[in-house]
Amino acid sequence: MKIAPFWPAAALLFVLGAASTFAVDEYYFVAGYIVLQGLIMATAWNILGGFTGYVNFGSAGFFAMGAYTSVVLYTAIDPPVFVAIVAAAVVCGLLGFGAGYLTLRLRGVYFAIATLALAIVLETLMVNWDYVGGATGAFIITPDTEFFPSYNAFMFVLMLALAIGSVGLARYLNYSRIGRGLAAIRDDEVAAECAGVPTLRLKLISTTIMGAMMGVAGALYPYFVTFVEPLSAFNLIVAVNAIAMPMIGGTATWVGPVIGALLLGSVQEWTKVNISSELNLLIVGVLLVGFVALAPQGIVGLAQKFGAWIRAHREKRQGDGRAAA
């Protein structure tokens, strides 16, 4: 197991990130927060989509339910942020489990359509639920942050910790026994079932983890924007990004979504500021279709191919050299 280099590197990254909040301009934390939010969503999506091969179109639903869990708790008892995060993980984990339990025994297509439907049903529920503000939305008063230089910096550091934790979990799943079982399901579910892989249980585990992780990403959202209404919480761009980032990075391993999210997330933040937000959406769509059609293994796959090509080239040259001598 290649445990050794990952966690020290992650810890170092976290310390650097936290330290940078005292040095860097405020804007970068807002942008950084959004990129990291995308990173968690992409990593979560990939646990089911990439590792297991089941497509979730309802990422925005899970994300929004995490956000609304925070809103409900805030309206009821106003607990510390950490409590809201844990609660959102539980609620959305159960939601993922429930959706998976109902539809994962059918063909994968039905699961995909059901997740899409789930997101809209949840949105309708939230629009009609006055306790969380209904269609008009709800405000959240930001909690105190004595230690950090600004509120956005605090949010950023919190998100950084959550993102590192999520990637660590995805990495663990990728290399663990569970991950191998999931890969078996992705490659050939019937064969996996025949070989004694407990397919339904594994699928439910990965759906639950996916849901919980998306809920965690959403839990901070109300605290970040301080105002939540259904239209923005259930925004389609959340779902599109959650699919596009792993697809662009490469879905086979935990690394792909990280690369995809950092790249696509940064590009989006840049275009949003420098060009326009509609064009930004178009870019995401075109990149998604382009990568899916032309580079199915994503950037990771392209890099591997390039590496293999370099090696083959070098060997050929050495071989030629020897032949000449």
| Binding-site ranges for another protein (CB under 8 A) | 49, 53, 55, 57, 102-103, 106, 108-110, 112-114, 116-118, 120-121, 124-125, 127-128, 135, 236, 240, 243-244, 247, 251, 278-279, 281-282, 284-286, 288-289, 292-294, 296
61: left (phi over 0), alpha (psi -120 to 50) or beta: alpha
Among 225, 188, 211, which Cα is nearest to 62's? 211
Q: Nearest distance from residue 101's CB to another protein, in Å?
A: 10
Do residues 112 and 55 lie in contact, with contact meaning Cβ atoms separated by under 8 Å?
Answer: yes
Q: Show the CA angle centred on residue 184, arms to residues 181 and 186, nearest 5°.
A: 115
Q: Nearest distance from residue 296's CB to another protein, in Å?
A: 6
Q: Nearest distance from residue 190's CB to another protein, in Å?
A: 14
In the chain, what's the furthest Cα-to-Cα distance?
A: 83
Euclidean distance between CA atoms 102 and 90, whole angstroms: 18
Which of residues 106 and 310 has its CB atom nearest to another protein in the complex? 106
Do residues 186 and 47 lie in contact, with contact meaning Cβ atoms separated by under 8 Å?
Answer: no
Instruction: State the CB neighbour count (10 A cutoff) for residue 53.
Output: 17
220: left (phi over 0), alpha (psi -120 to 50) or beta: alpha
Which of residues 112 and 262 has its CB atom nearest to another protein in the complex? 112
Which of residues 115 and 208 has its CB atom nearest to another protein in the complex? 115
Which of residues 208 and 241 has its CB atom nearest to another protein in the complex? 241
Q: Nearest distance from residue 301's CB to another protein, in Å?
A: 12
Q: Nearest distance from residue 147's CB to another protein, in Å?
A: 41
Which of residues 166 and 241 has its CB atom nearest to another protein in the complex? 241
